[in-house]
Structure 1
């Protein structure tokens, strides 16, 4: 049973992207976030544009054919397998989430020969890997792309996200890539205010906003490719959204990095 009175991170994000899969609690939470940091809607779209560019780059220029979209969120117009298969017909995608609304929509809209949908904690890589292998969606000897886009702000420090992500990367073959982007701010005050507000509004589904320095640690030991680690609006930029960050604004921070 879904409690529509409780805001959900996936539905808030869907609202900020201009989608239609949300309830009044989600819309109210999104408005509160925009009141606090006015560029929240732009950041959601910048993150999505970055995901599109990163997947196209990896499937095309890097010829990666297996993608693992952790915390995939609600389906949108340009889903990972659609982006990847436009440039690499061999591409297959595993979508990972444990939000019941996300899973219901994913099974209805994303299921197919080239996709696998897993009901799982996105940090449970052992389960994801074993189920993907059983379903024939994992070639353990070929490079893979693991995606964490607009997801890690829902993973608390108590869940050891840095250690668990490194363990995931350790099991990947050479040439695999990490695609990671999430909310960040140089302002400790804004990070705290945004984290506390959204924890309250989402029933602690949110964890916290991190600093750029904390985000950099997820990329340690990897080689940035395609562009620098930083504001993802600047990663292989096209004609997309641009913005100037201030102390009262969040940024989408991350990049793409390759395992040597």
Structure 2
């Protein structure tokens, strides 16, 4: 599949917000539109990346997890440590599967990653059966050992009509006992703000975006699971330094956490 640079993509917009170089005029224009509506969008993009690194470090160090499925990893940025390096610093035997269907993300990953400890799967992030099958055949998914499934600020690209809640629950049901779900999602308690941001970004990305959701909608992804490392909430506060203070009453935030699969 070729790269359409005339239309913004979610991965390239995030790359722009994070100060990366792998974006085009359409992505930058979409990113500026988002910043006009929500000036703290760059901060949320950084919070998302930092949360993922903390979660991976915690799971590899404290919970002994050696295999990770990263759904929608996005594009690299200069000052960001990829999660396979975070995981392998904690455990030299850690392996990471990166799953994405954005052609630029896939091309970058395949060109830059160490294939002995990472696998790139070109797939819809919710095609769980195919992802697990390919990962298992490549020796990157052992059904006898816990695995961490990561969905870090990616499910806003999946519309309600596709029932992302059931798709995530289906994946959770397939994973070994003692596995973990790491998930965060853009949320707002203001329905008008949710609709405004979602509408603008759907237009800019040709419906690649779906929607900002409420906290209750995000909590549904964790149904039946036990939060670990801290309660579900603003992920800026999850397992973070105690001197980091909450931001009063923000208009939107990255909401989620880490939960253990019984």
| TM-score range normalised by the length of the shorter chain | over 0.9
Mapped to 1, the partners of 2:254 and 2:138 lie a distance apart of: 33
Return closer, same or farther for 1:52/1:242 CA change in 2, 3 Å cut-off. Answer: farther
Displacement of 1:75 in angstroms is 2.5
Q: Deviations over 1:179-236 (max 9, x none)?
A: 0011000110110001000000001000111000100011110000001101001101
Preserved contact between residue 46 and residue 233 of structure 1 (Cα < 8 Å):
yes
Displacement of 1:250 in angstroms is 1.7
Q: 2:247 aligns with which of 217, 225, 244?
A: 244
Count of aligned residue pairs for this structure pair = 259
Partner SS for 2:69: strand
Return closer, same or farther for 1:134/1:125 CA change in 2, 3 Å cut-off. Answer: same
Instruction: Name the residue aligned to 1:58.
Output: 59
Instruction: Name the residue aligned to 1:44.
Output: 45
Displacement of 1:162 in angstroms is 0.4
Instruction: Name the residue aligned to 1:258.
Output: 260
Mapped to 1, the partners of 2:87 and 2:154 lie a distance apart of: 20
Mapped to 2, the partners of 1:140 and 1:165 lie a distance apart of: 18
Q: Which runs of 5+ in 1 are unaligned?
A: none
Instruction: Name the residue aligned to 1:138.
Output: 141
Partner SS for 1:78: coil
Return closer, same or farther for 1:27/1:58 CA change in 2, 3 Å cut-off. Answer: same
Preserved contact between residue 111 and residue 117 of structure 1 (Cα < 8 Å):
no
Q: Deviations over 1:60-81 (max 9, x none)?
A: 1001000000011112431111
Return closer, same or farther for 1:97/1:240 CA change in 2, 3 Å cut-off. Answer: farther
Q: Deviations over 1:65-123 (max 9, x none)?
A: 00000011112431111010001111000000000011111111124200000000000
Q: 2:221 aligns with which of 218, 221, 230?
A: 218
Preserved contact between residue 60 and residue 90 of structure 2 (Cα < 8 Å):
yes
Mapped to 2, the partners of 1:242 and 1:67 lie a distance apart of: 30
- Does the alignment pair 1:166 with 2:186? no
Instruction: Name the residue aligned to 1:93.
Output: 96
Q: Which runs of 5+ in 2 are unaligned?
A: none
Preserved contact between residue 237 and residue 246 of structure 2 (Cα < 8 Å):
no
Preserved contact between residue 68 and residue 96 of structure 1 (Cα < 8 Å):
yes
Q: Give the structure-2-normalised TM-score.
A: 0.96
Instruction: Name the residue aligned to 1:152.
Output: 155
Displacement of 1:40 in angstroms is 0.5
Return closer, same or farther for 1:87/1:17 CA change in 2, 3 Å cut-off. Answer: same
Mapped to 1, the partners of 2:220 and 2:144 lie a distance apart of: 26
- Does the alignment pair 1:177 with 2:144? no
Larger mean Cα displacement after TM superposition, 110-119 or 62-71: 110-119
Q: Deviations over 1:129-164 (max 9, x none)?
A: 100111011110110000000100001111111001
Instruction: Name the residue aligned to 2:203.
Output: 200
Q: Give the structure-1-normalised TM-score.
A: 0.96
Instruction: Name the residue aligned to 1:18.
Output: 19
Question: CA-atom RMSD, angstroms?
Answer: 1.4
Partner SS for 1:32: helix
